[in-house]
Amino acid sequence: MAERTTAISRDMTFLRNRAYVAASGSHFFVDIINSSRTVLVALLAVSLGLTNAQVGIALLLYNVGSALSQPFFGLAADRRGPRWFISGGLAWMVIMYSLAVILGGWGALIAITLAGFGSGAFHPSGTMVASESSARSRTQATGFFFAAGQTGLFLGPILAGLLLEALGQPGYLVLPVLAMSAVIAGWRWISDKHFTTLMHDRADTAPVESRRPNLRTLVPLIVVIATSSTIGIAIINFAPKLFADQGYSPVYVGATAGLYMMGSAVGGITGGTLADRINRRLPILLGMAGCILPIYLFIPAGDPWRFGLLVLTGFFAGMPHSVLVILVQTLLPGRRAFASGLTLGLMFFSGAIGTYILGVLADEIGLATALQALIVLPLITIVGTLLLPRAVLGRS
């Protein structure tokens, strides 16, 4: 037992790395702000009289800006280092969300949309810093990093709901003010020189074959990334809208997205641990198979069963997240910020397109029915995972 405890402690030394702590703390605040967006947009939708399709467009623009910018920010971070992008990305979000509160109405929607570029700047660099903080447990370290963000995603809607209900719109400003602590820590503790040197060493020592992934790998991998990521993005964007339409309070609306992300945080750590100790295929298949029934049942379920089902949905749907990021980093070993940006960009972009399609579909068949139709996506992910070459899905 003592030897096992020592081994676990040795595997988790990344938790004592200051750069890792700064990146993870920044991720926490980035995603607190990111997820509180769903509450702000849901309430703006009611006040402005937006349809589901119009809400989908607003969310699409935000996610597309974040998604398409990530590979470019990743390329820049591989060359210049991650510090500017981690601290600067969060600082940009702080400014834009503060403007959203001050402006209100359509001006708020424009500011929220522009804030997506801050998220796009942060994620490739933050993920690269996290994955390079442990040689033994890269996927687990990345899983904890994403869990920090997902904890922020869990708390964001709840805190936003509480602040908006207690203090009105100005109360939201508490969140961006608190986030400035992470901006300062990231600037102080993250070294550009260390990570640019590390990336050059990766590129020089990588096997030639790992730099040229073939179509047999790329096509199913893109399908797996796109379909698995759309599930969570669609739920956290539209479940709050569904319950806001039904007249629930801002706290309840925030809790629906928050509980999903709480489950996703635990699922991401579990999936990363399984990938490091067994293989990458298991957490993807287990996660996708496990989320089908909870997705279908959480809408018709009454309270408190709905909350438990949302946690289960997040847990299973979140299991593949860090696994897929590390998988793509392995295929592009000398450009890990770019690989992270490419993967997360595809996740966000496909999720944005899927969210828009869901919004259009919801106006035709109803939002509740459209959300239940998401059960098709994990089935597609399972097929794509089974088509991936065995060597790609070996241990991290």
pLDDT reported for residue 285: 95
Residue 69 CA, chain-centre distance (Å), reads: 15
pTM, to two decimals = 0.75
pLDDT reported for residue 200: 53
Question: Which candidate, 59, 356, 25, places its Cα nearest to that of 184?
Answer: 25
pLDDT reported for residue 292: 95
For residue 240 the two structure tokens come to: 């709050």
Domain boundaries defined on the chain:
13-387
> To which residue do tokens 């996740």 refer?
347
pLDDT reported for residue 152: 85
Question: Which candidate, 42, 3, 4, 5, places its Cα nearest to that of 254?
Answer: 42
Regions of the chain with pLDDT less than 50: 1-9, 201, 204-211
> To which residue do tokens 């749907």 refer?
317
Reply yes or no on domain 13-387 having CATH 1.20.1250.20. yes
The Cα 352–Cα 348 span in angstroms is 6
Question: Which candidate, 261, 36, 38, places its Cα nearest to that of 156?
Answer: 36
Peptide bond into 304 cis (omega under 30): yes
C-alpha angle with apex 156: 154 to 159, nearest 5 degrees?
A: 110
Backbone angles phi, psi at 23, to 5 degrees: -65, -40
Q: Over the Cα atoms of the chain, what is R_g? A: 20
